[in-house]
Amino acid sequence: MSAPARPVADLKVALFATCFNDTMWPETPKATVSLLERLGCRVEFPMEQTCCGQMLTNTGYGSKAGALVRRFVDVFEGYDAVVAPSGSCVGSVREQHPGIVELVGDDRLASRVEHLTPKVYELSEFLVDVLGVTDVGAYFPHRVTYHPTCHSLRMLRVGDRPLQLLRAVRGIDLVELPGAQECCGFGGTFAMKNADVSIAMGADKVRHVLETGAEVLVAGDNSCLAHIGGLLGRQRSGVRRMHLAEVLASTEEDQA
Amino acid sequence: MSTTTPGPLQQTSATFVGMPTFPQAARAALANTQQRKNLRHATHTIRGKRERVVAEVPEWEALRVAGAEAKDEALTHLGDYLEQLEASLTSNGATVHWARDAQEANRIVLDIVRSKEVDEVVKVKSMVTQEIELNEALEAAGIHAWETDLAELIVQLGHDRPSHILVPAIHRNRSEIREIFLREMGTVGRPAPDDLTDDPARLAEAARLHLREKFLRAKVGVSGANFAVADTGTLVVVESEGNGRMCLTLPETLISVVGIEKVIPSWEDLAPMLQLLPRSSTGERMNPYTTMWTGVHEGDGPQEVHVVLLDNGRSHVLADRVGRQALRCIRCSACLNVCPVYERTGGHAYGSVYPGPIGAVLNPQLRGTASTIDKSLPYASSLCGACFDACPVRINIPELLVELRGQVVEQEGRTAESAAMRAAAWVLSDPKRLAGAQKAAATAGRVVGTRTVRSVPGLGAWTNARDLPTLPTESFRQWWARERGEDDR
């Protein structure tokens, strides 16, 4: 394990689990906590947190997301860093919260949003940029391929940070995913409103995943993984889907 | 902002009235496997070329900013620049006409063509004349409009509609093109040779011979313009085949129909544009033919030049603070070529001559969201963001899509979806309510266990082809409260 770039024990770190992970994929925030604590962080989970508002905003109900933005700021502005295991939700905080506040027309809130937003990190950004680690001491002896979700890739520009982290995992056999940068077709309510196109896009993603021969598909967003995993499951492909946090949290004891 | 009040909306043309919603049209397109193959091959080829040539330009981002700024400057003072353009064009010997809508523009063109007592015109590929359906208007008056761009010729001969802004016949492969040429060319002019093969060179030769007759005969040419330079009164036409140059130089009379958003302030502003456009559109460093047309020159080219400046809903878009960035569009098609939705559905599903991501934002802005197709277009995207990255003038298409979804929702009022979203907002606005919903989910999770759920009433759109995720038996919140000793909510 490489040494963190700065002492992290003093950092007041909050976990933003995201409502989707909290409700549907609790293993992911659990893994995030375990990973961050292993790296020396003191992690808090403020119980008053709920949701970033992305689903409402992206479906056209941005005016209803004002209260969620206010809550997000109230809950998290006291922390040095807010970490979320979701590129999509962090993307929403960075790209959409300022716009929602503008819609609501609250200048005071706008400046609080402006102050808080730079402290909100997607997991791989926090590990690589803030903690300065790429080797997080993980062990995961499986053939893995990585899907960079659109919002991590094009909203957050996380670049190859997740791959740096994965490459340093002991035992891993990391294989490149063909057409990795192409959208899997989830897109929130797009998966329902344009189900046929969404499935056609997902089918191509699944084909590429199967081409790699990977046992495990990894990504930084459970929403995309639910869609791709749902298609993989229907095909009885046997390929497992896992969140990046869960792979990075894995240790030798877990695999025993 | 010179225009603050929204202008009139564009009328939806008869061709697209009653179009099904995007999801319905897309379903039909998805079933066409040949078209999907053609589209996939073509978009991936252009996409790869574009990526390579864009990567060659170290200052690409600065160029994008320069391009966006030049267009924004023009749009912010559009009235002033249009007046300047009119004055420079007029002093160069051109006649300027103003058209509020498609009908007015078509009437102006028709009157000019009639005054020349001809029954045909040659056309260089032009999106705006497709938008106003000029060919149909001319045809109704007994005047043949011959498309001379190779792909436009294929579409016209095939009694088809363009499926792409730049590559209108993108959905066709060469054996389909051969059949169209053999079947149709003879009915409107020089026939294709009997031994025509699907070799691209042979197909191009057949088109060249067929078109040559029309170029040499036509008295009137019709064009659009990629850019209209206000300070010099220059119209710029960018193309690959030289057919446009033939249309611009051979006929005695030239009629150029130009959308008012095509104006750029000065000659200097052309520099970034002519670097951005070819790399973004065809993936070339420089396009083969750039024709710059400044008025009338005695003994050289058309001796009568008419420029029709067209609004047709554009001033309506201009009045929208967020939406007006869509008018920066230089019709390069880069957003189409990178769009995963367009790649699978093709252009016809968008119900307009402007398909793909830019069409999904431009059409509902130009035409409003009254029709079923225009209501559905803002949702015809997974918001993956590839279009914004590819756009040479930095149009934030995902942002615009979300903005337009808000307008659709507002217009629709109370629906089942709005009720569901209000309920979601209510649950999510309070952690106690969220915890309550999570407990209900966890209970369901315990009931279902690890069994795979293959269908749930109301979730057919999801479960038709996708398994549902297994529900957890405990939310993270519950786990944290239990493990870390906080109150259980």
Residue-wise pLDDT tens digits, B180-200: 999 999 999 999 999 999 999
- Residue A76 and residue A98: Cα distance in Å, rounded? 16
CA gap A215, A14 in Å, rounded: 32
Structure-block tokens of residue B167: 């590559």
Tell me the residue type at B389: D
Q: Determine, for residues A60 and B471 on separate chains, whether the beta-carbon distance falls below 8 Å.
A: no
pLDDT over 80 at B107, yes or no:
yes
Q: How many whole angstroms separate alpha carbon A72 and alpha carbon A78?
A: 11
Is pLDDT above 90 for B16? no
pLDDT value, residue B4: 54
How many Å apart are CA B157 and CA A199, to the nearest integer? Answer: 34
From the list B325, B410, B315, the residue with the least C-alpha distance to B361 is B325
> CA B312 to CA B13: how far, in whole Å?
12
Of A60, A62, A68, the CB nearest to B428: A68
How far apart CA B302 and CA A62 sit, in angstroms, is 53
Give the residue ranges of DSSP H helices in chain A: 19-24, 27-38, 54-59, 66-76, 87-95, 97-104, 107-116, 123-125, 150, 161-167, 190-193, 195-212, 222-234, 244-249, 252-255
Q: Report whether B327 contacts B364 (CB < 8 A).
A: no
Tell me how far apart the alpha carbons of residues B301 and A29 are, in angstroms, rounded to a whole number. 71
User: Does position A60 have pLDDT exceeding 60, yes or no?
Assistant: yes
**Which tokens is A220 given?**
């930084």
Q: Are B297 and B244 in contact (CB under 8 A)?
A: no
Q: Chain B partners of A21 at a C-beta cutoff of 8 Å? A: 476
What is the rounded CA–CA span in Å between residue A35 and residue B291?
A: 61
What value does the CA radius of gyration of chain B take, rounded to a whole number of Å? Answer: 26
- Is the per-residue pLDDT at B130 higher than 50? yes
**Which pLDDT does position B488 carry in this prediction?**
44
* Mean model confidence pLDDT for chain A: 95
pLDDT over 70 at B1, yes or no: no
pLDDT for B404: 96
Q: What's the pTM value of the predicted model, to 2 decimals?
A: 0.94
Residue B261 is classified by DSSP as: G
- The angle formed by the CA atoms of residues B465, B469 and B475, to the nearest 5 degrees, is 160
Q: Say what the pLDDT of residue A94 is.
A: 96
Chain A residues close to B341, C-beta within 8 Å:
194, 197, 201
Q: Is pLDDT larger for residue B166 or for residue A209?
A: A209
Angle of helix B33-55 relative to helix B22-30, nearest 10 degrees, comes to: 100
Are the beta carbons of A180 and A150 closer than 8 angstroms? Answer: no
Q: At A120, phi and psi to the nearest 5?
A: -95, 120
**CB count in 10 Å sphere of residue B345:** 31
> Is the confidence at residue B6, as pLDDT, over 80?
no
> B476, A21: Cβ pair inside 8 Å?
yes
SS3 B371: coil
What pLDDT shows up at residue B58?
96
Query: What's the mean per-residue pLDDT of chain B?
Result: 93
Interface test with B, best of A89, A194, A232, A236 (most B CBs within 10 A): A194
State the Cα–Cα distance between residues A244 and A125, nearest whole angstrom: 12
Share of chain B above pLDDT 90, in %: 84
Q: Identify the pLDDT of residue B486.
A: 55
For an interface test with B, the pick among A57, A59, A76 (most B C-beta atoms closer than 10 Å) comes out as A59
Query: Is the model's pLDDT at A47 over the cut of 80?
Result: yes
Q: Name the minimum distance, in Å, from the CA of B460 to any CA of chain A.
A: 9
Residue A256 — pLDDT band, cuts 50, 70, 90? low
* pLDDT class of B489 with cuts at 50, 70, 90: very low
Q: Which of B35, B337, B348, B384 should one mutate to test binding to chain A, selecting the residue with the greatest count of A CBs within 10 A?
A: B384
Q: Do A197 and B26 touch (CB under 8 A)?
A: yes
How close B406 comes to chain A (CA, Å)? Answer: 4
Question: Which residues of chain B make contact with A229, given a CB cutoff of 8 A?
Answer: 467, 469
Per residue in B39-74, pLDDT (tens digit) is 999 999 999 999 999 999 999 999 999 999 999 999
Which residues are CB-contacts of B398 (< 8 A; sequence separation ≥ 6)?
Answer: B381, B383, B385, B387, B388
Residues B74, B123: Cα–Cα separation, whole Å: 27
Mean pLDDT of A90-100: 95
Tell me the pLDDT tens digit for each residue of B476-485.
Answer: 999 999 998 7
- CB-based contact (8 Å) between B383 and chain A? yes
The answer, yes or no, to whether residue B202 has pLDDT greater than 80, is: yes
The pLDDT of residue A6:
56
Q: Chain B window 315-354: which residues touch A at a Cβ cutoff of 8 Å?
A: 340-341, 344-345
pLDDT at B172: 87
Check CB contact under 8 Å for A226 and B469: yes
Q: What is the 3-state secondary structure (H, E, C) of A154-206?
A: HHCCCCCHHHHHHHCCECCEEECCCCCCCCCCCCCCHHHHCHHHHHHHHHHHH
3-state secondary structure of B150: helix
- Is the CB of B428 less than 8 angstroms away from the CB of A50? yes
Give the residue from chain B lying closest to A57, CA to CA. Answer: B402
Is a pLDDT exceeding 90 seen at residue B156?
yes
What pLDDT, on a 0 to 100 scale, did the predictor assign at position B18?
81
- CA dist B320 and B300 (Å) reads 43
A120-122 β-sheet, strand order: A42-44, A12-15, A81-84, A120-122
Mean per-residue pLDDT, A131-158: 97
pLDDT digits (tens, 9 = 90+) for B218-245: 999 999 999 999 999 999 999 999 999 9
Give alpha helix (H) positions in B158-306.
Answer: 174-188, 200-217, 243-249, 270-281
Instruction: For residues A137 and A152, give the distance between their C-alpha atoms in angstroms, rounded to a whole number.
Output: 23
Distance CA A27, CA A250 (A): 12
* Structure tokens, B354: 């402007």
- How many Cβ atoms sit within 10 Å of the Cβ of residue B18? 11
Q: What single letter denotes the amino acid at residue B91?
A: S
- Per the CB < 8 Å rule, is B385 touching A150? yes
The CA-based dihedral angle spanning residues A78, A84, A87, A90, taken in that order and rounded to the nearest 10 degrees: -20
Phi (first) and psi of residue A215, to 5 degrees: -85, -30
- Distance between CA atoms of B346 and B350, rounded to whole angstroms? 8
Q: Which domains, from first to last, does chain A contain?
A: 8-130 (3.40.50), 143-255 (3.40.50)
The confidence score (pLDDT) of residue B3 equals: 46
Burial of B370 (0-12, 13-18, 19+ CB in 10 A): exposed
Q: Is the pLDDT of residue B215 over 50?
A: yes
